């Protein structure tokens, strides 16, 4: 204790030390291996050696540009769709749920207690050609008589939307639940009807929740491969599928690592642009 009393400035650093150690072991070290692996060359029989093979990045970017673009596109569409679906539902639960709030929230996320894989396989059945949904859509001529849902981009985006729904819903719920109802009375007192109150009070105050929800949805969605694999075809494959097959099937660690680094950088840049656009300082400050 004597040391701390003589050096009070050391206290914050000591307190943050366990967190820093955690970050070092679980983030910095793996990142280091990821980046060095991405610059290696060789093959699984001869072994991989660090040869500063920058062309791995060029190869990845040129060969798999469609998958990269598709990942960003699917993830973005799914994120927007999840936001548009989740916001009204969560708004209703948080603002109008009354005594049923907790129950409704549990019901909303209950399907997600089932494992990811099983849920996605269930969607195969739901969207199957012989399934009820396709049958009805064909009958009402929304789908052509030989039209399909499964194995289309729609199925993959729908699967991603569904699977990451709680990541959108829960941050939104927190933001909307915390909104002080007296602020809405105040805006109503100041001549704003319910639409105007929503636009000028509820929505801006819930923006941090929107920000958090879109990030926690978009980031994992961008790297997803399960939905494209189970609900799509190679034509719907995303960068996640490429990385997965390079790691586990083709066993080309350097290229897979380069793909992972590219994905990470893309997400970081995207998040930075997004945060700037939304004004993250305003959101968090």
Partner 1 sequence: MSEIDVRLRDVTKRFGEFVAVDDISLEIPRGSFFAMLGPSGCGKTTTLRMIGGFEEPTAGTVLLGDQDVSDLPPYKRDVNTVFQSYALFPHLSIADNVGFGLREHGVPKAERTARVGEALELVDLTGYDTRKPRQLSGGQQQRVALARALVNRPRVLLLDEPLGALDLKLRRQMQLELKRIQQEVGITFVHVTHDQEEAMTMADQIAVMNEGRIEQLGGPTELYERPGTAFVAGFLGVSNLIAGRLDGTDVVTADGTRLAVAAGALGGRTGAVRLGIRPEKIRVADGDAPAGAALVGTVREYAYVGVATQYVVDTPAGEIQVFHQNATPGVQVAQPGTRVTLTWDPQATFLVEGETE
Under the binding rule (CB under 8 A), the answer on residue 204 touching partner 1 is yes
Stretch of 64-72, 118-126, 197-205, 265-273 contacting partner 1, by CB under 8 A: 197-205
Q: Give the DSSP letter of residue 164.
A: T
Burial status of residue 71 (CB atoms within 10 A of its CB: 0-12, 13-18, 19 or more): buried
Burial status of residue 42 (CB atoms within 10 A of its CB: 0-12, 13-18, 19 or more): middle
Under the binding rule (CB under 8 A), the answer on residue 163 touching partner 1 is no
CB 214: neighbour CB atoms within 10 A?
22
Cβ proximity to partner 1: between 89 and 192 the closer is: 192
Position among 46, 130, 146, 189 found at the interface with partner 1 (CB under 8 A):
189
Shortest spacing between CB 169 and partner 1, in angstroms: 22
Shortest spacing between CB 191 and partner 1, in angstroms: 4
Position among 21, 142, 183, 268 found at the interface with partner 1 (CB under 8 A):
183
Gap between the Cα atoms of 11 and 22, Å rounded: 18
CB 171: neighbour CB atoms within 10 A?
23
Stretch of 30-38, 46-54, 176-184, 213-221 contacting partner 1, by CB under 8 A: 176-184
Q: Which of 156, 277, 151, 168 is nearest to 215 (CA)?
A: 168
Number of helical (H) and strand (E) elements in the chain, helices listed first: 17, 2
Under the binding rule (CB under 8 A), the answer on residue 196 touching partner 1 is yes
Under the binding rule (CB under 8 A), the answer on residue 174 touching partner 1 is no
Cβ proximity to partner 1: between 114 and 190 the closer is: 190
Cβ proximity to partner 1: between 43 and 185 the closer is: 185
Position among 103, 186, 269, 273 found at the interface with partner 1 (CB under 8 A):
186
38: phi then psi, degrees, rounded to nearest 5: -70, -15
Under the binding rule (CB under 8 A), the answer on residue 281 touching partner 1 is no
User: DSSP of 240-281, one letter per residue?
Assistant: HHHHHHHHHTS--HHHHHHHHHHHHHHHHHHHHHHHHHHTHH
Cβ proximity to partner 1: between 175 and 228 the closer is: 175
Long-range contacts of 245-248 (CB under 8 A, 24+ apart): none
Under the binding rule (CB under 8 A), the answer on residue 45 touching partner 1 is no
Gap between the Cα atoms of 231 and 65, Å rounded: 21
Facing residues of 272 across strands? Answer: none
Under the binding rule (CB under 8 A), the answer on residue 7 touching partner 1 is no
Cβ proximity to partner 1: between 26 and 186 the closer is: 186
Under the binding rule (CB under 8 A), the answer on residue 65 touching partner 1 is no
Write out the two tokens for 220: 């994992």
- Using DSSP's 3-state secondary structure scheme, residue 257 falls into helix
Position among 43, 129, 139, 180 found at the interface with partner 1 (CB under 8 A):
180
Q: Which residues bind partner 1 (CB under 8 A)?
A: 180, 182-183, 185-193, 196, 200-201, 204-205
């Amino acid at each position: 204790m004597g040391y701390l009393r003589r050096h009070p400035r050391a206290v914050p650093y000591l307190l943050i030390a366990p967190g820093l150690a955690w970050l070092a072991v679980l983030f910095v070290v793996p990142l280091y291996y990821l980046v060095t692996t991405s610059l290696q060359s060789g093959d699984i029989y001869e072994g991989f050696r660090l040869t500063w093979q920058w062309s791995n990045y060029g190869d990845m970017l040129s060969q798999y540009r469609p998958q990269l673009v598709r990942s960003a596109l699917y993830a973005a569409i799914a994120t927007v769709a999840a936001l548009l679906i989740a916001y009204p539902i969560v708004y209703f639960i948080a603002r109008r749920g009354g005594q049923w709030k907790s129950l409704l929230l549990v019901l909303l996320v209950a399907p997600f207690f089932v494992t990811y894989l099983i849920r996605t396989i269930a969607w195969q059945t739901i969207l199957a050609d012989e399934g009820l949904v396709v049958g009805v859509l064909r009958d009402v001529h929304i789908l052509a008589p030989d039209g399909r849902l499964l194995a289309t981009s729609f199925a993959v985006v729908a699967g991603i939307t569904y699977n990451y729904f709680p990541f959108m819903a829960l941050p939104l719920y927190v933001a909307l639940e915390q909104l002080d109802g007296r602020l809405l009375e105040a805006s109503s007192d100041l001549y704003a009807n319910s639409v105007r109150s929503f636009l000028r009070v509820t929505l801006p105050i819930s923006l941090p929740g929107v920000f958090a929800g879109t990030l926690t949805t978009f980031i994992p969605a961008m790297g997803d491969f399960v939905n494209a694999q189970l609900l799509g075809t190679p034509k719907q494959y995303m960068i996640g599928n490429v990385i997965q097959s390079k790691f586990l099937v083709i066993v080309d660690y350097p290229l897979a690592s380069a793909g992972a680094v590219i994905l990470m950088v893309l997400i970081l840049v995207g998040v930075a642009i997004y945060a700037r656009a939304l004004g993250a300082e305003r959101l968090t400050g």
